[in-house]
Structure 1
Amino acid sequence: MNNTIKLSERLRTVATFITEGAVFADIGSDHAYLPCYVCLNDGNAHAIAGEVKEGPFKSALETVNKHELAARVEVRLGDGLHILHDGEVNQLVIAGMGGSLIRSILEDGKDRLSGVQRIITQPNVNERNVRKWFYENNYTIICEKILEESGHIYEIIVADKQVDKSPYTAELLQEQLLFGPLLLEHKTETFIKKWKKELSKRIRVIDEMKKAKEQNQNKISEFEKELSWVQEVLKNGSEQ
């Protein structure tokens, strides 16, 4: 048996937020690498690996059997959180997909979340959608990480259920949802790099919208407001 699983830095970072002895589900598990990695390193952990397509489901089964983990990692075929019974897991991982999809998975499966104390997400894009869902559903962000790997910048957002202290302030809520309330507190080089790219992207989008024959002024105003936020954040970041 091969005891080693090599995870990307992105997934290794996700794994650090799964507490010892957790019973967790990994939705969209991608060969079940993360659940097997965690269970090989934590003899008390148990996991459910969820896949919606037959091919990845079979690959996940192969990984579990290769590492002789069938007693502690169960692979299930199905859509989102519908593979779970309510109260079955206490932690949840959804990584490597868009923020809009992560939000819809959480929203569609809300009835399976009563026992879930921690949700660990890694949206590839549209992180704001995930933060909004947490904000609206009594999950408090306790940690945010931003990292670059193979030319891509990723954010990891970890939220616990009904923690008393909110990371948000009323007057800055919309900006904090966009940038990340905790990432804003400690603007790393990777954070600055991401938002410099986003600045250029927003300038191009506004320019294209203004060239359109039928202009959506509300949309233009929204993008211009966000552009001003990005400019302010980068200005303040360069002064640190």
Structure 2
Amino acid sequence: MELLSERLRVIADMIDHCGVMADIGCDHGYLSIAMAGEKKVTKAIAMDLRSGPLEHARKNIRKYGLEDIIDVRLSDGMQMLSPGEADMIVIAGMGGPLMTRILDRSPGIVGTASELILEPQSEPETLREYLSGRSFPDSKGREKIFFSIKDERFVKEEGKYYPVIKYLPSSKRQILSEEEKLFGPVLIREKPPLFREYLENCRKKYRSLAEKLEKTVSSGSRNAEKRLAQIRDMEEMISAIIHLNKYEEG
């Protein structure tokens, strides 16, 4: 039986074989169980801030006989993880700003990881902007380690769209344009069908908002005029990405 939802399966498919995976915000532990069962990891550390989901995770892990492979820890973010303990860090099921705070509180742990897989459920631009400008200490606390986007996937679950982003260590800072921060450099370049669908929906939403605000602007509201300009800028940006994709296809 498939344990993973469509969203978690996309995350799982991005995971290459590695040593130790830390699953931050593991909920019921399904990702760790699946990765251990598929032998993609030699060990998994399933961590969550809430004791209830962790107890469910323990029961599920016992059910599949994976107690020797999966360690369960009650932890606020990565506080119960040691530097160098995890090769891969997976954070999923939370917003971009919260992910950013979790990463920022544990620079020594992030800097010793060989891979990050992040699935922000809101404001992914916050996360992309943060990691494009942040360096982390290496295992000796000396060298600056940056992380660059290596791959991005897009998934739709229960009517909502989610990006999944893979980061690898780099010696150089990754410079992203505003469009790339908002929508992702790999997604813009590779244009998967779901991403195009998402862009079209976003453009329709901004176009509808602009039409509604135009009536308010006509009555002399300066705030509405400023907001309308911002919305039109976003609509133009999205249209440019869509047209670029169509141009590249031709």
Q: 3-state SS of the aligned residue for 2:233?
A: helix
Deviation of 1:19 after TM superposition, in Å, equals 2.7
Equivalent pair of 1:140/1:163 in contact (CA under 8 Å):
no
8 Å CA contact retained: 2:35, 2:41: no
What's 2:80 paired with? 83
Q: Residue 32 of structure 1 corresponds to which residue in structure 2?
A: 29
Structure 2 counterpart of 1:225, which letter?
Answer: D
**2:152/2:187 contact within 8 Å kept:** yes
Q: Does 1:187 align with 2:184?
A: no
Indicate the residue corresponding to 2:124 in structure 1.
Answer: 127
Say whether the 8 Å CA contact 1:52–1:77 is kept in structure 2.
Answer: yes
Q: Taking structure 1 as the reference length, what is the TM-score of the superposition?
A: 0.86
The partner residue of 1:159 within 127, 145, 167 is: 167
Residue 66 of structure 2 corresponds to residue 66 of structure 1: no
Query: Alpha-carbon deviations, 1:5-52, whole Å to 9, x = none?
Result: 521232122123333232111111120100111111117521111111
How many positions carry a matched residue from both structures? 233
Output the amino acid matched with 1:13.
Answer: V
1:96-144 CA distance string (max 9 Å, x none)? 2222222222122223223111100111222212211221121110001
Structure 2 residue ranges without an equivalent (≥5)? 135-145
Cα RMSD over matched residues? 2.5
Offset, 1:205: 4.4
How far 1:54 sits from its partner (Å)? Answer: 1.6
User: Quick one: which amino acid aligns to residue 183 of structure 1?
Assistant: L
The one of 217, 227, 232 aligned to 2:235 = 227
Distance 1:113 1:231 in 2: 36
Q: Which moved more, 1:93-102 or 1:8-17?
A: 8-17
1:201-225 per-residue CA deviation (whole Å, 9 max, x = no partner) reads 2234455666385617665544332
Q: Kindly indicate whether the alpha-carbon contact (under 8 Å) linking 2:15 and 2:40 is maintained by their aligned counterparts in 1.
A: no
TM-score (norm 2): 0.82
d(CA) in 2 for partners of 1:35 and 1:147? 20
**Cα–Cα, structure 1 residues 184 and 41, in superposed 2: closer, same or farther, change >3 Å?**
same
Q: Which amino acid aligns with 1:57?
A: L
Alignment partner, residue 110 of structure 2: 113
Decide whether the 8 Å contact of 1:209 with 1:215 is kept in 2.
Answer: no
Cα deviation code 1:35-86 (max 9, x no counterpart): 1111111175211111111211111111111122122111111211112112
Decide whether the 8 Å contact of 1:139 with 1:160 is kept in 2: yes
Which residue of the other structure, out of 87, 95, 100, is the alignment partner of 2:97? 100
Question: Which residue of 144, 155, 169 corresponds with 1:147?
Answer: 155
> C-alpha distance in 1, partners of 2:133/2:203?
28
Counterpart Cα distance in 2 of 1:56 and 1:182:
33
**Further displaced range: 56-65 or 129-138:** 129-138
